[in-house]
Amino acid sequence: MIDPWVYAALTATAVLTGFIDAIAGGGGLIMMPALLFAGVPPVNALATNKLQSMFGTATACVNYARKGLIDWRANRWTMLLVFLGASFGVIVVQAIDTRALSLIIPLLLMAVALYVLVSPRMGDEDAQPRLSAAGYAPVGAAIGAYDGFFGPGTGSFFTASLVALRGLGLTRATALTKLLNLTSNVAAVILFAIGGKMVWLLGLSMAAGSMTGGWIGSHTAMRFGARLIRPLLIILSLGLTARLLWGYFAG
């Protein structure tokens, strides 16, 4: 039984995480510990976090799309493969040694932070793409699979790879990241719901906060562009790195 004050506290927390997710991703860095602290079992916390995140990400995605920052048609194959990848990740989550990933992923996140810090491509201007939309689809599938069974840093990986490989400006890459994050969240929510892992009332309460944060965050990102997104990506990547390393060595 979850106390009423927990609903209010986690819904308020979801406003913050929705705001962060809409700009740079990484809201789970805050939300997952909050859910666990509230006494939600780990698998149920993961499922419920995906539910609230799906609503916030959808809100941000709609805002970006209305500004013409998302090309739905060009990315349809990437969306399909991300969905399949995330579904696979959720199915195999209990067969994966996530403790080993807790040591590997910080190295990747530090690489993302370093790339965002020093790369001249990390602006709002599009650059020469290294991969086409179809060529990027398998990369998206791999990140989607990672999101399905582990998750921390997914938004950072999507955004950095879209800038590096697709040549997108940082704001457009952030917008497309929301679409791909939404796709992987939908896959995870469907499979977690089928498995009976969802805490529905709590997740839907948090969704209201996440949608509010997602709306504010996406408008803020479109207003300030790369000069806001770039430092926040670095901070979130390093924050996730510290959190995962702490969890690995302390746990």
Distances (CA, A) of 84 to 78, 87, 139, 177, 224: 10, 5, 12, 16, 34
Nearest alpha carbon to residue 18 among 205, 177, 217, 225: 217
pLDDT in tens, 100-128: 656 666 777 777 777 767 766 667 788 88
pLDDT in tens, 40-96: 888 888 889 999 999 999 999 999 999 999 999 999 999 999 999 999 988 876 566
Let me know: does 102 contact 248? Beta carbons within 8 Å.
yes
Position of tokens 């400006």? 169
User: Per residue, what are the HEC states of 67-81?
Assistant: CCCCCCCCCHHHHHH
pLDDT in tens, 190-219: 998 998 889 999 999 999 999 999 999 999
Distances (CA, A) of 219 to 17, 161, 224: 15, 23, 9
Which pLDDT score is estimated for 243?
76
Instruction: Tell me the residue range of the domain where 184 lies.
Output: 4-250
Tokens of 89: 């990740």
Question: What contacts 105, CB < 8 A, 6 or more positions away?
Answer: 150, 152, 153, 240, 244
Indicate the number of domains in the chain: 1
Residues of the chain above pLDDT 70, percent: 90
- Does the pTM exceed 0.75? yes
Q: What is the mean pLDDT of residues 170-182?
A: 95
Nearest alpha carbon to residue 227 among 127, 124, 155: 124
Which pLDDT score is estimated for 102?
61
Nearest alpha carbon to residue 84 among 39, 137, 13, 7: 137
- Is the Cα torsion angle 107, 110, 116, 119 positive or negative in sign? negative
